[in-house]
A and B are shown apart, each in its own frame.
Chain A
Amino acid sequence: MRNILLASAREKMILAKDIAHPSGPDRLPIYRKGTELTEALIERLAGMGIQSLAVSERSDNGEEDRDLQERLDALEYRFKRLDGNQLMMNLKGIVRKQLIYSMENDHGD
């Protein structure tokens, strides 16, 4: 999965996360994860004021789960020398939470 600006969205890309109407009161998803983008859909998103979205080249969930796991492993590696440093461990926790949230809303808190 990658986050892109709507200006870079192209036909045939696959939504990697649900999209909710930005000004909708209930924030219920109006386009579901897995939806294939079309020119018309991109225009509708622009009209709604959506500026960025998450897309994946493939629609299978297994690929995304592996992607998230790889990123979490890389995060552990980047912090591996800081185990005894409480402030840095807390920072790792903050980045981890943000990473999970940004990749998969339903894995978040």
Chain B
Amino acid sequence: METKRHPFMKVIKDVRSLPTIPGIIAKVLLLLDDNKTSFKEISRLISSDQTLSSRILRLANSPFYRFPGHVSTIPAAMLMLGSKAIKGLVLTSIIFEMTDKNSLGYWEHSLGTATAANIIAKRLRVAKPEEVSTAALLHDIGKVIIKSKLRDDYEALLTQIKEKEVSMREAELEMFEVDHAEVGGWAVSSWGLPEVLCEPIACHHDVEKAETYRVEAAIVHLADILIKANGFGFTGDDFVPPIQPAAWEVLNVNEPFLEEITVELGHKLIEVHEFSQGIQSV
């Protein structure tokens, strides 16, 4: 059944219609890849762009990373977050350009999922929780890409979701035989994001598919579900997907754990709501 999938991926992968990455961002991404480049050089380059640096600092101080105190400089943000998470934030600044002014629901869902992922990752003592939250922040980028490249099809997707009462993923698979997770994973990988971020994005609806970063993919999967369960934000459909057995197994958690996370999340989501209302103005 290549008939639907092939033309869809052809449009998605057409570089001419990929969102343009501004020169400064392309350069920062290249430097972040180069092991010989010092933190100082990258910091200087990021700091030279006021919009980029203010967005990174705003995100570094957001409720989902939960750092004590205020991160006020780019070098401090780089030290606290690490280059992989910074790379995710640089790409997040591209999504700001891609989403329209009415995307509060998308931001709330993404920021909420990043917050839930951070809470889960810290409780499970994952080595780098900031990387998991950054993957969670970007997990639905495939939806933004589908919307920006295929406006008419996106409208048809929304109609199908409403009429058939299906999830966005089900409608995507029905219409394109590809879902937003695969599109997002492909896009961030082609933009040079490290595998620790790409795989959880690509596998957040199919945790079993994750080979290297299954725990991270399972955390993003569970965080996404908890945010949908709370009805926080909106990304196309209302339905809560089931927790996959593969995710439950690899995380090795139980229902009291879910309750603790839900209670902690309830307090944090007030902050996230306020934060996301201001985020697009940066």
Chain A interface residues toward B at CB < 8 A: 3-5, 8, 52, 71, 74-75, 77-82, 85, 87-88, 90-92, 94-95, 98, 102
B255 proximal to A (CB < 8 A): yes
A87 near B248 (CB under 8 angstroms)?
A: yes
Contacts of B271 in A (CB 8 A): 5, 52
State whether the Cβ of B266 lies closer than 8 Å to any Cβ in chain A. yes
Q: Find out whether the CB atom of B242 lies under 8 angstroms from the CB atom of A85.
A: yes
Q: Tell which of B239, B243, B255, B263 touches A78, judged by Cβ atoms closer than 8 Å.
A: B239
Majority secondary structure of chain B interface residues (helix, strand, loop or mixed): helix
Q: Which residues of A contact B231 (CB under 8 A)?
A: 71, 74-75, 78
Q: Is B230 an interface residue (CB 8 A)?
A: yes
Cβ–Cβ < 8 Å partners of B270 in chain A: 3-5, 52
Task: Count contacts on B: residues with CB < 8 A to the other chain.
Answer: 24
Q: Which of B188-227 contact A (CB under 8 A)?
A: 225-226
Within 8 Å CB of A87, what residues of B? 242-243, 248, 255
Let me know if A79 and B240 touch, CB within 8 A: yes
Chain B residues engaging chain A, CB cutoff 8 angstroms: 165, 225-226, 228-231, 238-240, 242-243, 248, 255, 258-259, 262-263, 266-267, 270-271, 273-274
Shortest 6 CB-CB distances between A and B: which pairs? A3-B270, A94-B259, A95-B229, A78-B240, A94-B262, A78-B238
From the candidates A4, A75, A82, name the one contacting B242 in the complex (CB within 8 A). A82
Would you mind naming 5 contact pairs between A and B with Cβ atoms under 8 Å apart?
A5-B271, A78-B239, A82-B240, A91-B255, A94-B259
State whether A5 touches B255 (Cβ < 8 A). Answer: no
Cα-based distance from A77 to B240 in the complex (angstroms) = 9
Cα distance A98–B230 when bound, in Å?
A: 9
**Complex: how many Å from CA A77 to CA B270?**
23
Tell me, in angstroms, the Cα distance from A79 to B226 when the chains sit together: 12
Query: Is B229 touching A91 in the complex (CB atoms < 8 A)?
Result: yes
